[in-house]
Chains A and B, each alone.
Chain A
Amino acid sequence: MTNTPTRLKEAFAEAGVTGRLHALDIDSGAELGTGADHPVVTASVHKLCVLITLYEQAAAGLLDLTEQVECPPDGRASGPTGLSAMLDPVRMSLRDAAYLMIAVSDNTAAELCLSRVGLDAVNATTARLGLTRTRALHTFRAMFESMREDAGPGGAQALTDPYVIARLRALDPARSNHSTARDMTRLLRALWRDEACTPEHGAAMRRVLGLQVWPHRLAAGFPFDDVHVAGKTGSLPTLRNEVGVVEYPDGGRYAVAVFTRAARTAATLPPADAVIGTTARIAVEALRAGA
């Protein structure tokens, strides 16, 4: 039988993407992957690091998760979901903002959480968890601003032009928020083993990650009612990511991080989304088979 990394590469190529993947058995530490240490742009996956920082600061008594934040309609970060799409003034707790940040990848909610803790704190948290290859260089708002600048007068439509894609700073791991697939499974393992936080805060974060609404990536690979999938996606032009944890009824728990970059510049590419689930399943089944 073909070995798993080769099967993963073939599945990525078949879907027209370049993919990096790392899968980790949370309890045994068994692992496998392809390109697991290759630097990747995290995009909205970095909201997971913001979530952990926020809860860590709550655990340290630096903030209260039920603290109310005001979100006036003006000056919201752009985005197609949650507060970013809403029109009227909102007042909500920090933890509800965190829920929106994860469940629908709400960019405005992410800015609320991030501005409360600060970029340096996020980097301090990931460093503390031993993620040496993970770093946030800018806020989500700044990332979109750089994209707007690089896209030029053509706006969002220009983002299907390969010439424009090649010059987007947001897609360059050296100049954008970045990590590796291995760093992300390490973080998920800590979160699922209550090593990142107190058990109470850990459970609250795992709940929110399980409430993520997108069905088309990691979750698509596990069409089983008795398998629990929790995760966080990240997307930018040509880039589709998801990191998450898959839990089987027999107690098996697997952290999987998948980062892809598509050859095609089209915004709607169902096969490129689905291959995240396909490859995660190949990896998890190989781990379960003890390969």
Chain B
Amino acid sequence: MAQPPLSQRIKGLERHLGVRLFERTSRQVTITKAGTLLLDDARELLGRSEALLATARRIRDGESGLLRAALPPDIAGETVAALLDGFRAHRTGVELELRELTTAQQLTQLAAHDLDVGLIHHPCDVTGLELGPVLRREMGVLLPRDAPAAALTEVPLTALTGYDLVLFHRSAAPALHDDLLTTCARDGYAPAAVRHGQGASFVRGLILSSHAVAFGPRDAHPAPAADEDPDLVWRPLAGAPLAWRHSVAWPKGRGDTAVSTFAQAVTQALHSTAAVTADAPPRPLHLRPTAEYWL
């Protein structure tokens, strides 16, 4: 906004509120104490007006009865069921159209406004999105029952030395792929070969036949089933170094009641069925001069 109209609008607002919001000198503008006191309320008001506008848009676009939402393919059936129950319990009057989409597909559809809300995998480019808090789904290791490490209750990554790794193809999510391998290497596990596989039975075949292991969240390998499996076991990793990190995401400025209900329901469903925790506390950060910023 050009300066003069902006100053006029600020003056108008100050007249309307009867409070001086900014101190102005010829060189700089600083917010007054009164301005600071009103800032939080103003932000909240703006947030709520955005939600109101988003709901109005949904009604205007004839979408009032439908929320188009997506989950990634790796979400367990129990979680999906809990989510659907949880969403219905809120009686929003909105019908949920649930799709199974990868993060890349969700990002494309969110950007095109073909999707209202989704559960995405980090890391991804979150430009133009609003996010819910990061949810952490701890990963364990799936290994042959006769592997020495299978006898441990928690497996350190170093104990996997000598085993190949079965992992999704890098092109499916390059950043996540690299993150996993970097963390493994840093914690002492550098697989001699990375084999690409994603489908449960294909992964299982590779683990059994080619001296390999795979990573996966606990909810993909529920304890009773895993105990009955004569050939494979799932074990937590010592120190929980690896995780899948999710957020509920929606296009910026389009977070209405239906979206927040979905966000709440999916968070609750993950907490109750998938051993999800809040994100790990941030690690120390040593910014290098090339970062160009400093806080």
**Chain B positions within 8 Å of A13 at CB level:** 171, 174
Q: Point out the residue from B123, B130, B174, B279 that lies within 8 Å of A166, measured CB to CB.
A: B130
Q: Contacts A162-B126, A163-B134 hold; do A16 and B292 have CB atoms under 8 A apart?
A: no
Residues A216 and B126 in contact, CB atoms below 8 Å apart: no
Residues B284 and A267 in contact, CB atoms below 8 Å apart: no
**Chain A positions within 8 Å of B229 at CB level:** none
Q: In angstroms, how far is the closest chain B Cβ from the Cβ of A87?
A: 15
Q: Most A CB atoms within 10 A — which of B125, B126, B129, B295?
A: B295
Residues B295 and A155 in contact, CB atoms below 8 Å apart: yes
Q: Nearest residue in A to B290 (C-beta to C-beta)?
A: A214
**Chain A positions within 8 Å of B279 at CB level:** 161, 163
Q: Point out the residue from A16, A78, A234 that lies within 8 Å of B174, measured CB to CB.
A: A16
In the complex, whether A148 has a CB less than 8 A from a CB of chain B is yes
CA distance A151 to B175 in the complex (A): 23
Q: Nearest residue in B to A15 (C-beta to C-beta)?
A: B174
**Chain A positions within 8 Å of B222 at CB level:** none
CA distance A161 to B126 in the complex (A): 11
Residues B130 and A80 in contact, CB atoms below 8 Å apart: no
In the complex, whether A2 has a CB less than 8 A from a CB of chain B is no
Q: Contacts A79-B294, A235-B292, A267-B288 hold; do A161 and B282 have CB atoms under 8 A apart?
A: yes
CA distance A158 to B285 in the complex (A): 9
In the complex, whether A264 has a CB less than 8 A from a CB of chain B is yes
Q: In angstroms, how far is the closest chain A Cβ from the Cβ of B226?
A: 31
CA distance A159 to B175 in the complex (A): 17
Residues B134 and A156 in contact, CB atoms below 8 Å apart: no
**Chain B positions within 8 Å of A162 at CB level:** 122-123, 126, 131, 134, 245, 247
Q: In angstroms, how far is the closest chain A Cβ from the Cβ of B112?
A: 15
In the complex, whether A34 has a CB less than 8 A from a CB of chain B is no
Interface size on A, residues (CB 8 A): 53
Residues B174 and A14 in contact, CB atoms below 8 Å apart: yes
**Chain A positions within 8 Å of B134 at CB level:** 161-163
Residues B293 and A235 in contact, CB atoms below 8 Å apart: yes
Q: Most A CB atoms within 10 A — which of B134, B175, B279, B292?
A: B292
In the complex, whether B77 has a CB less than 8 A from a CB of chain A is no
Interface size on B, residues (CB 8 A): 36
Q: In angstroms, how far is the closest chain B Cβ from the Cβ of A37?
A: 16
Residues B295 and A151 in contact, CB atoms below 8 Å apart: yes
**Chain B positions within 8 Å of A81 at CB level:** 289, 292
Interface string of A192-216 (1 = CB under 8 A from B): 0000000000000000000000101
Residues B131 and A43 in contact, CB atoms below 8 Å apart: no
Q: Nearest residue in A to B125 (C-beta to C-beta)?
A: A18
Residues A18 and B292 in contact, CB atoms below 8 Å apart: no
Q: Point out the residue from B3, B125, B126, B291 that lies within 8 Å of A267, measured CB to CB.
A: B291
Q: In angstroms, how far is the closest chain B Cβ from the Cβ of A254?
A: 24
Residues A163 and B247 in contact, CB atoms below 8 Å apart: yes
In the complex, whether B188 has a CB less than 8 A from a CB of chain A is no
Q: Contacts A16-B178, A162-B123, A162-B131 hold; do A44 and B292 have CB atoms under 8 A apart?
A: yes
CA distance A52 to B252 in the complex (A): 34
Q: In angstroms, how far is the closest chain A Cβ from the Cβ of B109?
A: 16
**Chain A positions within 8 Å of B122 at CB level:** 162, 263, 265
CA distance A193 to B107 in the complex (A): 41
Q: Most B CB atoms within 10 A — which of A120, A166, A235, A238?
A: A166
Q: Point out the residue from A79, A160, A171 that lies within 8 Å of B292, measured CB to CB.
A: A79
Q: Point out the residue from A79, A160, A237 that lies within 8 Å of B282, measured CB to CB.
A: A160
In the complex, whether B287 has a CB less than 8 A from a CB of chain A is yes
Please report which residues of chain B, range 115-148, place their CB below 8 angstroms from some CB of chain A when the two chains form the complex.
122-127, 129-134
Q: Nearest residue in B to A162 (C-beta to C-beta)?
A: B122
Q: Contacts A80-B288, A236-B293, A267-B285 hold; do A18 and B247 have CB atoms under 8 A apart?
A: no
**Chain B positions within 8 Å of A9 at CB level:** none
CA distance A4 to B22 in the complex (A): 51
Q: In angstroms, how far is the closest chain A Cβ from the Cβ of B1?
A: 9
Q: In angstroms, how far is the closest chain B Cβ from the Cβ of A139?
A: 10
CA distance A12 to B130 in the complex (A): 23
CA distance A158 to B279 in the complex (A): 12
Q: Point out the residue from A144, A172, A264 that lies within 8 Å of B179, measured CB to CB.
A: A264
In the complex, whether A91 has a CB less than 8 A from a CB of chain B is no
**Chain A positions within 8 Å of B131 at CB level:** 162-163, 166-167
Q: Contacts A163-B133, A234-B292, A264-B123 hold; do A157 and B174 have CB atoms under 8 A apart?
A: no
CA distance A120 to B131 in the complex (A): 34
CA distance A39 to B295 in the complex (A): 25
Q: Nearest residue in B to A271 (C-beta to C-beta)?
A: B178
A-B contact pairs, 19 of them (CB 8 A): A13-B171, A13-B174, A15-B174, A79-B294, A107-B293, A148-B295, A160-B283, A160-B285, A161-B282, A162-B122, A162-B126, A162-B131, A162-B245, A162-B247, A163-B247, A235-B291, A263-B124, A263-B174, A267-B285
Given contacts A157-B284, A166-B249, A171-B127, 6 further A-B pairs with CB under 8 A are: A79-B292, A80-B288, A144-B295, A167-B130, A263-B125, A264-B123
